[in-house]
């Protein structure tokens, strides 16, 4: 087996662009797109603002790269859930855990944050935000429909309605839990939302 012509650098686990994306994403999820600056990111990473511009020439492009990566990671996470679990109830439980993990880092779902700031976002970011919500909604609708047919779920209205209620409820619970400093209320709300899908009363 010949040695690869170009091996991954062993020195560092992530490249500078990756670290920029990570830091800027965290700031976007905690402070919003309008609530952080290139200076914030540069200072935290330990490079100059000019170097930051070398990797992401404009803030709009940096923001677009982050929400695109986020949407892709979520889509991958949904696929991983589908690959790992069969039962709809278990897949939905895993889905709510994705939100809980974000909230436990004191972050808001990036989609929710950018939904609030939507009117001020550059158009490419707006487009990806909408795509993000469509992806989530369609996946939920699909899982709920599957669960209903399998007899594990019995939501009151249509699958579309149930998907909307669950997505809205989780995003809203996340939104409110942070300022109220009450992460537990998110878990309680998420449980109640899932229970509403199963209940036969």
Partner DNA sequence: GTCTATACAGCGATAGAC
Partner DNA sequence: GTCTATCGCTGTATAGAC
**Is 37 near DNA (CB under 7 A)?**
yes
In degrees and rounded to multiples of 5, residue 56 shows phi and psi of -135, 100
Give the residue among 166, 34, 181, 177 at the shortest CA–CA distance from 88.
Answer: 166
Q: Interface with a second copy includes 78 (CB under 8 A)?
A: no
Among 32, 44, 55, 183, contact with DNA (rule: CB under 7 A) = 55
Using the rule CB under 8 A, give the single segment among 11-19, 40-48, 83-91, 164-172 that binds a second copy. Answer: 164-172
- Binding to a second copy (CB under 8 A) within 117-156 occurs at 117-120, 126, 129-130, 133-134, 154, 156
User: Which of 24, 67, 78, 165 touches a second copy by CB under 8 A?
Assistant: 165
Residue 58 or residue 104: which is nearer to DNA going by CB?
58
Nearer to a second copy, 47 or 93 (CB): 93
Q: How many residues bind DNA (CB under 7 A)?
A: 20
Query: Which range in 9-17, 52-60, 91-99, 170-178 contacts a second copy by CB under 8 A?
Result: 170-178
Q: Which stretch binds a second copy (CB under 8 A): 29-37, 46-54, 62-70, 71-79?
A: 29-37
Question: Of the two residues 65 and 103, which places its CB atom closer to DNA in the complex?
Answer: 65
Range 151-157, long-range pairs (CB < 8 A, 24+ positions): 152/87, 152/88, 152/89, 152/198, 153/88, 153/89, 153/197, 153/198, 154/197, 154/198, 154/199, 154/200, 155/196, 155/197, 156/196
The residues that touch DNA, with contacts defined as CB under 7 A, are 16-17, 36-40, 46-51, 53-55, 57-60
């Amino acid at each position: 087996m010949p040695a690869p012509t170009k091996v991954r650098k062993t020195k560092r686990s992530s490249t500078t662009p990756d670290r920029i994306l990570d830091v800027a994403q965290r700031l976007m999820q905690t402070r919003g797109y309008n609530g952080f600056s290139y200076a914030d990111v540069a200072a935290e990473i330990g490079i100059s603002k000019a170097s930051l511009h070398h990797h992401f020439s404009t803030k709009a492009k940096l923001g677009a790269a982050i929400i695109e990566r986020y949407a892709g990671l979520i889509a991958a996470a949904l696929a991983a859930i589908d690959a790992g679990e069969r039962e709809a109830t278990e897949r939905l439980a895993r889905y709510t855990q994705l939100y809980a993990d974000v909230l436990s880092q004191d972050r808001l779902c990036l989609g929710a944050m950018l939904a609030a700031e939507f009117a001020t976002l550059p158009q490419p970011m707006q487009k990806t935000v909408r795509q993000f919500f469509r992806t989530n909604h369609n996946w939920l609708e699909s899982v709920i429909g599957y669960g209903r047919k399998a007899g594990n779920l019995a939501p009151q209205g249509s699958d579309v309605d149930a998907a909307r209620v669950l997505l809205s409820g989780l995003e809203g619970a996340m939104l409110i839990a942070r300022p109220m400093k009450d992460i537990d209320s998110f878990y309680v709300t998420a449980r109640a939302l899932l229970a509403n899908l199963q209940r036969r009363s």
